[in-house]
Structure 1
Amino acid sequence: MKRLAIFGILAASLTLVGCSEAGSGWWQKEWPFRTPVTVDTTPSGTNVAGPIGRTPVLLRLHSGNFSFSESADNGADLRILAADNKTPLTFHIESFDVLLGVANVWVDVPKLAGGEKTALWVYHGNKSAPATVNSAGSFDADYTLVLHYDEAPGTPTKDKTSFANNAANGPTSSDDGAIIGRGGKFTASTGMAVAATPSLATPATGFTFSTWVKLDAASTADQALFARDGVVVGLAAGVPYVSAGARTAAPAAIAPGQWVHVAVTSDGQASRLFVGGKEVATGAALPAMAGPLTIGGSATAPFTGGLDETRLSKVARAPALMATDVAAQGPEGKLLAFGKDEEQGGEGGTILYILKATPALDWAIIGLCMVLLAGAIVVMVMKNNYLARANRANKAFQKRYQSMEEDLVHISELPGLSDGERKLIASAPLGRLYEIGIDELQMRQRRLGDRPLSGEAVEALRAAVDAVQVDENQKLDAAMVLLTIAISGGPFIGLLGTVMGVMNTFGGVAMAGDVNVNAIAPGIAAALLATIAGLAAAIPSLFGYNYLNSKITAMADEMRVFCDRLVTRLAEVQAERSYPAPPTRLAAE
């Protein structure tokens, strides 16, 4: 049975075994964890062509690609390094929620180009480290206004650049379900006013305005998103346009209820309108602007809907940047590929990574399956030991029983038995059947003397022996139901954990707005551990059940045959007592 126990233990250990791999090129030993991130502008990623330049890239962290349990509660321990694994990059945190396992982090990538893969390293785990976030340093000096709308509801919206071109007021209310965390919600708004400053001025040779916009409902009205010095970027009956006297419009309206990226650039020769990161129209160049501006409506074109991540630049940003922003910030999330979380000096490979990504709910299911497996192993070990002892005792009893011939007596009365053999035979199931048979026969001998047993007496004797046989069968089957529970219930419990884990993964991805395979795969792989645990409980239990059941069936058959032979022999012994003794025996006496 040792082999059966070892098999069960090995089956339980399968989920803890994996390939080993060591991390290399660690930045600083005080940071025990890191997550590799690849900014992918090749066809396998966002498929962007052309130069992009210095770019603020949004890292959407969630429980599927980042271990929040190993990080500080406010993300103060985050450090983001360039591909050389030596150069810290400037970044800031827009939101960081440990309980929900969701965070939005902006990192300043010094140089991006289309058709390339750029590596980043996100270090964390040093919970005593001070915060090093730098909102102003996350944007180059050509950004004159950046609004995240992450302020508390009812407060003026602040500029995230170093110029501090803050709005005098805020949106009507906040939208916690915006495209990037919290956004601004506007209701018939005449706009957030931003005063004129020298840093906010844009020359005729360079201008870029971009924002995410969502219409609450279809409207035939003219709604301004940006208005300044006669230049308006807005929506006319839902159609994006830019106007500086002459109007340049997109070919189609945007759908209500959906977040859409709208951008306008002007380089002194022409203006370009982008919708969803793609250029959709070209018009006349825009003039220089230096006056106050409004965002989210104007006095003549109020706006109703949502805005998020609004930016103003004094240069014409590259078309590739528009596509990159949409890929990084939008729901498709194709720009970034997250690798598995790595631990300094740690080993474990894929399996260890999956174990770290497993949520508490799945661990509870896995724990329940392991309890089933542990119970099944205990039953298999104890039952096999019991059957082995019973089989040895039966063999010892059979040897003595066959030597008794017609002189049937209690086991305790057998001559020449050692104490060890006497105890062994007394524990034999066949011995207990024999003992009750002898008790029943001797009781009838005291009452009937040497008269042969009647048919009714034989049946009564058989019934007494059969009752003991039933008790012995129940002992053999005791606790076997635990194996059947593990066999039939383990896979279903594991499947329940997998379904709940998958549901939780997709829910987290939906909240984070990141649906690439690297966001989904860790959670799905972790959820499948529950099914593995259920099968790990069921498979050894199935083998053990079949093995033990065959031995139980064989012993039950042995007892059934012995009962029939015992009753018949007892009846014959009683009948022989009523016959006259043979002459040779009388003479001898």
Structure 2
Amino acid sequence: MNALFFLSSGLVFSFEKATLATKLILFFLLGVSSISWTVLLIKLKQIQSAKKQSRKFLRKLKASTKWLALFLSREAFPGSPHHAVYVTGCKELMNIYPGTKPIAEGYPEKALLKIKISEKSLKLIQSAIEREIGNQILLLEDQMILLATAASGAPFIGLLGTVWGVMDAFGDLALSGKATLATMAPGVSGSLLSTVMGLIVAIPALFGYNFIVATLKELTIDLENFGTEVLSEIEKRFVMAESD
């Protein structure tokens, strides 16, 4: 309790002795901290929801006796990148098959089992799946640049405030003509607070960024593997052998 009191009182003292420029930088860093924490929490919630919905979707897909059943039922799995890739593959299968009705009208399962496409058409489905995988990864990586900027830029902004504050402190010292620790220490103390604030902003942003990047890397590999599985299922069920 006493340690917390001395720490808080020290921070208040340093802030009071900081120059106007240092205080402006401190408020700027506070804004950066608010943005980075907001982005961090939003991304963590988004990724957690995506993984949860994907697990739910994959369980139902595995339990289904008919591979296209989930597509035909139009059951929603909001935020699931795996479901988005699956739906894209199925839609592209419908679109390239000649004589099919609009997807909105639905397809009877027996009719779908009779669909046969060429290996050339399969490449169109592959391209669509790869594009959708890329879109889903971009969606998950959205706003990550803000975390990276906060992690890398905040310490330098804090250092700028410290250097500026120390420069002002030495200027005031020269004007006063009294080179004593008592006259110089308050200004330097206020200046160092800027560096402390910069590190306080950067460290959580850096840890959060690294954790999210590692999670997204794992999710990307899993999504690419699933895209390959979708393509394999389509090839196994609906591709006819090319005639020489």
Fold conserved between structures, TM > 0.5: yes
Residues 67-86 of structure 1 show CA distances to partners (whole Å, capped at 9, x for unaligned) of xxxxxxxxxxxxxxxxxxxx
Instruction: Give the alignment of 1:45-84 within 5 angstroms.
Output: none
Amino acid at match of 2:84: R
2:219 corresponds in structure 1 to 555
State, as a whole percentage, how many aligned pairs show the same letter: 24
Kept in 2, the 8 Å contact 1:410–1:438? The answer is: no
Alpha-carbon distance between aligned partners in 1 of 2:92 and 2:165, rounded to the nearest angstrom: 63
TM-score normalised over the length of structure 1: 0.37
Q: 2:6 aligns to what SS in structure 1?
A: coil
Pick aligned residue for 2:9 from 337, 341, 349? 349
Alpha-carbon distance between aligned partners in 1 of 2:189 and 2:78, rounded to the nearest angstrom: 55
Q: 1:351 aligns to what SS in structure 2?
A: helix
Q: Does 1:521 align with 2:173?
A: no
Residues 42-76 of structure 1 show CA distances to partners (whole Å, capped at 9, x for unaligned) of xxxxxxxxxxxxxxxxxxxxxxxxxxxxxxxxxxx
Change (3 A) 1:426 1:374: closer
Residues 316-367 of structure 1 show CA distances to partners (whole Å, capped at 9, x for unaligned) of xxxxxxxxxxxxxxxxxxxxxxxxxxxxxxxx53332222111221011111
Amino acid at match of 1:413: S
1:367 corresponds in structure 2 to 27
Instruction: Give the alignment of 1:299-310 within 5 angstroms.
Output: none
Kept in 2, the 8 Å contact 1:411–1:426? The answer is: no
Q: 1:19 aligns to what SS in structure 2?
A: helix
Amino acid at match of 1:573: R
Alpha-carbon distance between aligned partners in 2 of 1:375 and 1:534, rounded to the nearest angstrom: 14
- How much does 1:445 deviate? 3.1
Pick aligned residue for 1:436 from 82, 88, 91? 88
Amino acid at match of 1:439: K
Alpha-carbon distance between aligned partners in 1 of 2:62 and 2:178, rounded to the nearest angstrom: 79
2:173 corresponds in structure 1 to 509
- How much does 1:501 deviate? 0.2
Q: Does 1:402 align with 2:54?
A: no
Residues 63-110 of structure 1 show CA distances to partners (whole Å, capped at 9, x for unaligned) of xxxxxxxxxxxxxxxxxxxxxxxxxxxxxxxxxxxxxxxxxxxxxxxx
1:392 corresponds in structure 2 to 52
- How much does 1:451 deviate? 6.5
| Greater per-residue strand proportion | 1
Instruction: Give the alignment of 1:153-552 within 5 angstroms.
Output: 349-411=9-71, 413=73, 422-423=75-76, 425-447=77-99, 450=114, 452-552=116-216
Alpha-carbon distance between aligned partners in 1 of 2:133 and 2:202, rounded to the nearest angstrom: 31
Q: Give the RMSD, CA atoms, in angstroms.
A: 2.3
Instruction: Give the alignment of 1:33-44 within 5 angstroms.
Output: none
Where does structure 1 lack aligned partners over 5 or more consecutive residues? 1-16, 21-347, 415-421, 577-589
| Greater per-residue helix proportion | 2
Q: Does 1:19 align with 2:40?
A: no
Amino acid at match of 1:427: G
Change (3 A) 1:412 1:373: farther
Alpha-carbon distance between aligned partners in 2 of 1:503 and 1:413, rounded to the nearest angstrom: 69
Alpha-carbon distance between aligned partners in 2 of 1:412 and 1:364, rounded to the nearest angstrom: 58
Change (3 A) 1:349 1:444: closer
Q: 2:117 aligns to what SS in structure 1?
A: coil
Alpha-carbon distance between aligned partners in 2 of 1:429 and 1:361, rounded to the nearest angstrom: 46
Change (3 A) 1:426 1:482: closer
Residues 417-440 of structure 1 show CA distances to partners (whole Å, capped at 9, x for unaligned) of xxxxx44x2431111111111111
Kept in 2, the 8 Å contact 1:490–1:538? The answer is: yes
Amino acid at match of 1:382: I
Amino acid at match of 1:376: S
Instruction: Give the alignment of 1:68-147 within 5 angstroms.
Output: none
Where does structure 2 lack aligned partners over 5 or more consecutive residues? 101-111
- How much does 1:406 deviate? 4.3
Alpha-carbon distance between aligned partners in 1 of 2:98 and 2:57, rounded to the nearest angstrom: 26
Residues 511-552 of structure 1 show CA distances to partners (whole Å, capped at 9, x for unaligned) of 111111111111111100111111111100011011111111
Kept in 1, the 8 Å contact 2:119–2:239? The answer is: no
Change (3 A) 1:482 1:452: same
Kept in 1, the 8 Å contact 2:155–2:199? The answer is: yes
- Bigger radius of gyration among the two: 1
Alpha-carbon distance between aligned partners in 2 of 1:444 and 1:480, rounded to the nearest angstrom: 36
Residues 374-405 of structure 1 show CA distances to partners (whole Å, capped at 9, x for unaligned) of 11100110000001111110011001111234
Alpha-carbon distance between aligned partners in 2 of 1:489 and 1:18, rounded to the nearest angstrom: 30
Q: Does 1:571 align with 2:231?
A: no
Alpha-carbon distance between aligned partners in 2 of 1:506 and 1:524, rounded to the nearest angstrom: 9
